[in-house]
Amino acid sequence: MKMMTWMKIKFGIGVGAAALLAGGATTVVLSGDGTGDGLPPSEIFKRAQEKYASLISYSDEGMTIATVSGTTITHSFTIRLARPKFYRIEWEQSSQTGARKYTTKGAVWSAGEGDFLEMGGVAQKQSDKESALAGATGISGSAAATVPGTFFKMNWGNQLGGSVAGEKRQTDEKVGDVDCYVFTSELKGRTKTLWIGKQDFLIHQVQTITSAEAMKATLDEAAKRHPEISARLPKTESQGITSTETHTNIVVNKKFSPADFAR
């Protein structure tokens, strides 16, 4: 349980509508927005922003794999989002060090009657969408931040917000069978790599590499904000962490009802 609490600190401490939401389902690997070859980074990010803004709904499944101090933490997750503010993200976290294995499940959702976060089998109402998704970021392996933050164009988790000036174009790669543009950026000891589909302009993968120094700064800040939790954790030397979040089986503009988001 100490490891799971530690991971929470690292990652997370940091219009109800009865009508159906219209739109036919489209699997994005079959969508045709053009390959966009030869586009400058600013245009690629602009098209990606416009694509998310145009979506009525989005769903996927995926996995985040993080390694830290010899421990591998895996989150498998499903994401379901729809305008204006419907969402449901569910995940299962597992970690193993030697013979010891931990597994926990959680969810964050809104079906139009409030925002809720479930941890340890207990659901609590949150003040708003952004607070709920931010609170679920660490324990969901960032599944509650990356795509939801981008889809809803929030301050929290939006991968396409801010300046494009710091993004460096890398050699194109595939994520599964999807051809992607690849960009890297660095900030305060963290290197982020972002894979954006060349045909659908959607995010297919994000990798974050955090140095030991940046990790220490994060934990020190968390200790100031939550000393009661920090005091129970073992005093160990900070280690770097690598986290890779992959999104698969992406479907856009599927018809959902509010009941599809209820927990």
CATH, residue 31:
2.50.20
Tokens 């929030």 locate to 154
Domain containing residue 83? 2-14+22-261
Model confidence pLDDT, tens digit, residues 113-128: 999 999 888 999 999 9
Q: Residue type for 93, please?
A: Q
Residue pair 158/150 in contact (Cβ under 8 Å)? The answer is: yes
Q: Is the pLDDT of residue 13 over 50?
A: no
Token pair listed for 106: 């959680």
Considering just the CA atoms, what is the radius of gyration of the chain in Å?
Answer: 18
Q: What is the helix, strand, coil percentage profile of the chain, to 5?
A: 25, 40, 35
- Note the pTM of the prediction, 2 decimals: 0.79
Token pair listed for 209: 């590499």
Residue pair 148/87 in contact (Cβ under 8 Å)? The answer is: yes
Model confidence pLDDT, tens digit, residues 94-107: 987 667 778 899 99
Residue pair 152/81 in contact (Cβ under 8 Å)? The answer is: yes
Q: How large is the average pLDDT for residues 54-79?
A: 93
The burial of 80, by beta-carbon neighbours within 10 Å (0-12 exposed, 13-18 middle, 19 or more buried), is given as buried
Alpha helix (H) residue ranges in the chain: 2-12, 41-54, 129-137, 146-151, 212-225, 227-230
Gap between the Cα atoms of 129 and 126, Å rounded: 8
Q: Is the pLDDT of residue 74 over 50?
A: yes
Torsion of CA 176, 106, 148, 9, to 10 degrees: -100
In the chain, how many domains are there? 1
Q: What is the 3-state secondary structure (H, E, C) of 45-84?
A: HHHHHHHHHHCCEEEEEEEEEEEECCEEEEEEEEEEEECC
**Mean pLDDT over the full length of the chain:** 82
